[in-house]
Amino acid sequence: MNIAIIGAGIAGLSAAYDLSAAGHRVTLFETAAYAGGLAAGFKSDRWSWHLEQFYHHWFQSDHDILSLIDEIGERENVFFPRPVTSVYVDGKAYPLDSPLNALLFPKLGLLPKMRFGLTALYLRLTRSWQSLERETAHQWLTRTMGETAYRVLWEPLLVGKFGEHYREVNMAWFWARIHKRSTRLGYFKGGFQAFIDALVRQVQARGAVLHLNTPVRRLTPAPGGGLLVEADTAGGHFDRVLATVSPDLLVRLVPDLPDSYTAAVRRLKSMGAVVLVLALKHRLTDGHYWINIPKAEGFPFLALVEHTNFINPQYYDNDHIVYCGDYLAPDHEYFTLSKEELTARFLPSLKRFNPDFDADWIKESWLFKAKYAQPVPPVNHSANIPPLETPIPGLYWASMSQVYPWDRGTNYAVEIGRRTAQLILSSS
């Protein structure tokens, strides 16, 4: 078959890896100048390693992506440090990434801690999530963990991540976040971009063709079967097409989708992400890698991630790398602000982590935005998800909105990309 893949992110590349191995002609179309999608990296001229545009790590339970890394012969480049992840409460960051740290957490009494611990243990051990999706995380956690622990620990995170939708998110999504988590977090030598580059080399070695800087404008059914791909500098007739794009973009690219399928796609809600990355002269926090921040504390962002408390700063010319990240509605004001405007809003808050911080510490800065970054899964969401095989013969759609109950991430991008590839292969 002659197969087109729209998008050279992790899902598209994973599908291309399997489809080209099966002997089919594969062409990838990517709008950006680089492959990798939301996992792509960038690099200062001073650094030896790339850094992700949006903070990334793996869990030890991320079997799909680790298996793919094994297959392409790159497992020796994966390593799992043990960083400190924390929660910010009443003006201080507290480590909360182990049973001992949870026991020592001073903002909860003994009974709330016990309920918190037992609930977390249940979510770690149970494999059944289907019943959990019938109730919101807000309701389920308040009832089982208790209002005190929920209010202090989890409600601020749901509010920060989902904004006005936080009471809609179902408990199966929350279960997945706890069930798969590991204390050791994985990274790739050279950054995620080094993994992406290795995967691209393998895909191209199998005969796939990658067109960068090539936005696809339209997908239409061909009169004699198959689909026509209209792109700026390439395109043509294909027997099968896999689109790994956002719901909004799918609807715009494929005007011939039936109204019922289009309506289902449009009902999918999602949040965007804005990340300001700072290269500092000095360390900002006392060893914290990830700090979840309640917006009720008055911060202009949700998470502070000090990457170089996870990965040695020697790979970044001894810069201390800090992400200030937030999940926001796609129409939020932040998406219209410049790097300078967002920096002016974010910087005053950094003194709350380190009173010595000064704007003079900043050596370089970068701003990255994505209006499609975090799906919002409501109650009984499994019934809402459009199938990977669309009603148009030969057209498939695979997105982070369909990896449910799991959360978006590179592991599940690999899984859905390879699963869709198998569907395509079985259709030949």
- Per-residue pLDDT tens digits for 73-111: 999 999 999 999 999 999 999 998 888 888 889 999 999
228 and 202 both lie in a single domain: yes
pLDDT at residue number 163: 87
- Provide CB contacts within 8 A for 394, sequence distance 6+: 221, 225, 226, 227, 238, 239, 240, 241, 427
Quote the CA–CA distance of 413 and 249 in Å, as a whole number: 18
Residues 196-230 pLDDT 10s: 999 999 999 999 999 999 999 999 999 989 999 99
Tokens of 197: 């580059």
66 and 173 both lie in a single domain: yes
The candidate with the shortest Cα–Cα distance to 30, out of 211, 218, 219, is 211
- Provide CB contacts within 8 A for 267, sequence distance 6+: 384
The candidate with the shortest Cα–Cα distance to 211, out of 15, 8, 420, is 8
The candidate with the shortest Cα–Cα distance to 235, out of 247, 220, 249, is 220
- Count of domains for the chain: 2
- Give the strand pairing for 51-52 and 41-42: antiparallel
- Give the strand pairing for 240-243 and 2-6: parallel
CATH of the domain at 85: 3.50.50.60
The candidate with the shortest Cα–Cα distance to 327, out of 178, 164, 174, is 164
184 and 290 both lie in a single domain: yes
146 and 178 both lie in a single domain: yes
pLDDT at residue number 408: 86
141 and 18 both lie in a single domain: no
In 10 A of CB 339, how many CB atoms?
13
Say what angle helices 137-145 and 155-162 make with each other, to 10 degrees: 170
Quote the CA–CA distance of 49 and 281 in Å, as a whole number: 18
pLDDT at residue number 95: 93
Quote the CA–CA distance of 336 and 341 in Å, as a whole number: 10
283 and 375 both lie in a single domain: yes
65 and 114 both lie in a single domain: yes
157 and 278 both lie in a single domain: yes
pLDDT at residue number 181: 87
Domain that holds residue 75: 59-189+269-384
90 and 171 both lie in a single domain: yes
pTM: 0.95
Quote the CA–CA distance of 301 and 328 in Å, as a whole number: 10
Q: Which residues of the chain have pLDDT under 70?
A: none
Quote the CA–CA distance of 32 and 193 in Å, as a whole number: 14
74 and 179 both lie in a single domain: yes
CA distances in angstroms from 364 to 51, 106, 221, 361, listed in the order given:
13, 37, 47, 9
128 and 199 both lie in a single domain: no
12 and 74 both lie in a single domain: no
